[in-house]
Structure 1
Amino acid sequence: MVDTSARLSRNDLTARGMVGAAFAAMAAVTALDLLDGRLGALFSVGFVLIAGTMPLAVDVRELLPSGVLPPVLLVVTIATVCALVPSAVVVEGLPTDAGWLARTLGGAVDHGVTLLIGHVLAVTAVVTRIFTDPDHPRRG
């Protein structure tokens, strides 16, 4: 039998803590990127780093949210920016008088590659954490 007391003493976050930390970090990155008035490269790089780091910060028994959170994190962040600073989401071909929903959808599509990279990193980290966990059933 494996002693889980050492495992419980690690500094891993709970799933709820990880979600809160991810949204707080994304808010900070977005606020910094909005200093020039629009979302750009800092937003994309920050999102990828946050999405890839989430599974590394959470306890291995609570990995599911970190694998499904990246799309939610991106869309909620873009929707918030569209509601607060609509001019910050610039999408080629989108009319300047486009509404909140159109800007949110356009912004999410415009950041599709960013989402793909971040989500692939998150899922890869989840799978790696599962299979390298010392308590994994295959290691028994």
Structure 2
Amino acid sequence: MSMGRDLTGPAVVALAFVAMATVAWLDLTDGKLGPAFSVGFVLVVMTAPFAVDLRSIVTTGVLPPPLLILSLLGVVLIEPAAIEFDGLAADAGVAARAIATTLDHGLTLVIGHSLALAMIVLRNVWAARARALTLQRA
């Protein structure tokens, strides 16, 4: 049930990428990608379903994997030294670093995606209740 304040799917996707770029930039102030990036990712994907129009809610259900992968790829391209792993060569290329950091953030993706899906369900339940209340009052 749209009340004129919900964003379109593409707008939410764009804002999610802007938010993740901001989170990554802030987290990289110490030169390393840390837990703040993971927490920021989870918060962004949990918030997106509440900002999008219900007709575009599926967009927020498929958003977490590309958002995480492309955000991490951006970090690798801009600040490759921020990605450090045991066993990763110091001269590892972009592809190796991107794969390593994506695998390292696998649990973050599972948690974020699961919570995003839960928020979608919650949003749909609230919308159904709001519609039912509106119909009762009419």
The TM-score normalised by the length of structure 2 is: 0.88
Instruction: Look up the match of 1:83.
Output: 77
Of 17, 20, 41 in structure 2, the residue corresponding to residue 23 of structure 1 is 17
**Structure 2 unaligned spans of 5+:** none
Deviations 1:36-67 (A, max 9, x none): 00100110110010011111111111111101
Q: Structure 1 residue 36 and structure 2 residue 30: aligned?
A: yes
User: Structure 1 segments of 4 or more deviating over 4 A?
Assistant: none
**Structure 1 unaligned spans of 5+:** 1-6
Of 49, 64, 69 in structure 2, the residue corresponding to residue 55 of structure 1 is 49
Equivalent AA in structure 2 for residue 125 of structure 1: M
Distance 2:103 2:44 in 1: 19
* Distance change >3 Å, CA 8–CA 124, structure 1 → 2: closer
Number of residue-to-residue matches in the alignment = 132
Higher mean displacement: 86-95 or 105-114: 86-95
Cα RMSD of the aligned pairs, angstroms, is 1.8
After TM superposition, give the deviation of residue 29 of structure 1 in Å.
0.6
Q: Structure 1 residue 97 and structure 2 residue 91: aligned?
A: yes
After TM superposition, give the deviation of residue 128 of structure 1 in Å.
2.0
After TM superposition, give the deviation of residue 121 of structure 1 in Å.
0.7
Report % sequence identity.
45
The TM-score normalised by the length of structure 1 is: 0.87
Instruction: Look up the match of 1:4.
Output: none
Of 114, 122, 126 in structure 1, the residue corresponding to residue 120 of structure 2 is 126
Instruction: Look up the match of 1:3.
Output: none
